[in-house]
Structure 1
Amino acid sequence: MKRLIPLALLLAACAPAARPQPVQVWEGSARVLLTVQAYRLTFTVNPVSYALSGTLANLSSGDRFEGTGTLLPSGDGAELSVQVTPGTVPRLNAGILGFGIGGVSLKADAFLSGQVKGDLFDGSLRVNGIRYPLTLRRVQ
């Protein structure tokens, strides 16, 4: 048993160290319906699996959404695809005379996709089936 402890320590020393994933912050705007909305996308990417996780904040309304997806290398840039969900938000429960609705989210899911080239993201935010052009610039 005493011989196994040094061997285990030696093997643990050979294991690759976990590298911290850098946080990326992107800001920009999109015209949604009739108004221009400011957005901030903050995320980290796993360098091995290209899995992305982070948040999309609507700076104009103060809403914050959770996002998961990928940032895949593509030619001279990368392809970003993120499913955006409202997370834990209030839900609508209403009824009258025994008929009603329950558990309806007050915020909609969205899908963010597009191309990253250098410090510029050019893509779209799709909400309820409608695409809104979105441009973001890397700030961190």
Structure 2
Amino acid sequence: MWLPVLALTACAPAVRPQPVQVWEGSARILLRTQDYRLTFTVDPVTHLLSGSLDNRSSGDRFEARGTLLPGPDGAELTAQLTAGDSPRLNASVLGFGVSGLSPKADALLGGRVTGDLFTGSLRVGGVRYPLNLKRVQ
């Protein structure tokens, strides 16, 4: 009776915990230096990345979803950053208005990971800002 259960258990793929990566650094955005912390995990099979980017200067947090694709000269990181569950603006004047508008702009994070360094950019509203991060965990 236990033999079929053991056989099925042996065929099931092993679930491996995904290590959490933490990166810290800064970018100069609109003449001000902003400190950032990027925290994420990567699925080793699909290379899908999920986590968050924290602006430590302003206290804002953005959800990060993207990929970390390995390559011969490092890995290519691309992630869409969204405001997530932040408060939304709902306003109207004489029947015209906005609904569900986030006061935080979405952004795109992209660049190359070489060893413990990320060199890339944060694109907000079509403008690219250089961003350098160092792995701390």
TM-score, shorter chain, exceeding 0.5 = yes
The letter for the 2-side match of 1:116 is: V
- State the partner residue of 1:21: 18
Give the fraction of aligned pairs with identical amino acids, expressed as a percent: 68
- State the partner residue of 1:53: 50
> Which whole-Å CA distance do the structure 1 matches of 2:14 and 2:99 have between them?
48
Q: Deviations over 1:67-125 (max 9, x none)?
A: 11000011121000001100011111222233222221111111000000000000000
Superposition deviation, residue 14 in structure 1: 4.1
- State the partner residue of 1:132: 129
CA RMSD after TM alignment: 1.2
Matched residue SS, 2:10:
helix
> Which whole-Å CA distance do the structure 2 matches of 1:75 and 1:124 have between them?
21
- State the partner residue of 1:122: 119
> Which whole-Å CA distance do the structure 2 matches of 1:16 and 1:103 have between them?
42
Q: Deviations over 1:30-63 (max 9, x none)?
A: 0011100000000000111111000000000000
Q: Which region of structure 1 is more displaced relative to structure 2, 96-105 or 86-95?
A: 96-105
Q: 1:92 aligns with which of 89, 97, 107?
A: 89
Matched residue SS, 1:22:
coil
- State the partner residue of 2:33: 36
The letter for the 2-side match of 1:112 is: L
The letter for the 2-side match of 1:72 is: L
Matched residue SS, 2:46:
coil
Q: Which region of structure 1 is more displaced relative to structure 2, 7-16 or 68-77?
A: 7-16
TM-score by length of 2: 0.95
- State the partner residue of 1:12: 9
> Which whole-Å CA distance do the structure 2 matches of 1:54 and 1:33 have between them?
25
**Structure 2 stretches of 5 or more lacking a match?**
none
Q: Which has the larger radius of gyration?
A: 1
Equivalences, count: 137
The letter for the 1-side match of 2:35 is: A
List structure 1 runs of 4+ shifted beyond 6 angstroms.
none
TM-score by length of 1: 0.93
